[in-house]
Structure 1
Amino acid sequence: MDVLFNNAGIAGVGAVHEIEEDTWDKVVNVNLKGVYLPSKYVIPHMMERRQGSIINMSSCVAEIGLQRRSVYAATKGAVLALTKSMQVDYAPYQIRVNALLPGTILTPFVEGYLRSAYDNPDEALNTIKSRQLSEQLGTPEDVANAALFLASDDSKFILGSPLYVDGGAVFGKMA
């Protein structure tokens, strides 16, 4: 095993006072435990070989917050913190641990969400785009290319780092 890509996530919608405890627990179990469990069982093999690259999917929301996504932001922030701690623990074994922090990626899920949650999906899409410096949404290929970079030897000197794939959302126009 050379590369582990921990890509788990569900959203959970609501401010803290609105989220039911079972929803909170489900999001934590998927988003955080979905990184912990694969890592727990793959890392010993990487330690034995003294090499490996682990890529944890966080989110730019971990850095900037997002209205009514408190549990999602909390778990993706925890993934980022976990990534940094894992890097400290496993650097002596030449295992690199980094995080991807994507912004909104135009996927069939996002397209379906826009159609089901908004009266005017095109207007909602334009609002989301306007938050980013690029004024565009990312593509699955954008995230895949970033993951391939972190998995490759081209990133051999990148350890414990967040890699933003967000069209400038973190540094953009969220106000």
Structure 2
Amino acid sequence: TGNMIREALKNGTEMGLKAKSFMDEGKLVPDEVVIGIVKERLSADDCKKGFILDGFPRTIPQAEALDNMGVEIQHVINIDISDEKIINRMSGRRVCENCGRPFHIVTLKPKKEGVCDDCGGTLVQRKDDHPDTVLARLETYHKETEPLVSYYEKQGKLVTVKGQDDVEATTKAILEGIEA
């Protein structure tokens, strides 16, 4: 949903602009704003046969709003990873300010430092990936998002996988979890 919010911001929508100030401070975007953006996106034709939400819901009220939208949620994936690894991974992310392609200073380096391999654009660190902002986001996660684990566990939809390994191992564990 971060991409949905950024797209709404880029398009200058009212909800996107409302979301910006919260994102810049590492705070969760208020439920009513996120829910409005998600509801609008899920009504698009390309979501009719299925979709994957990344980063939504983040709170119990968002989960309840999603339940009330009448969309069927088959699985909820919880990637269990230490705070330390999260800080290292997120603070190392860079994105091309032109095309949006992601890079990482350790695991997915560009051919030329600071330059996008695809379009030659400048690579930047988003404000919400700065270490201080990541710490604030983690604090918020533990307070507001962690309760979703038991919410979806009670519904029999939760699949928890260890996220300490590399991307391939984590992806394999996710696929095994949803096929079980």
- In the superposition, the TM-score normalised over structure 2's length comes to 0.30
- In the superposition, the TM-score normalised over structure 1's length comes to 0.30
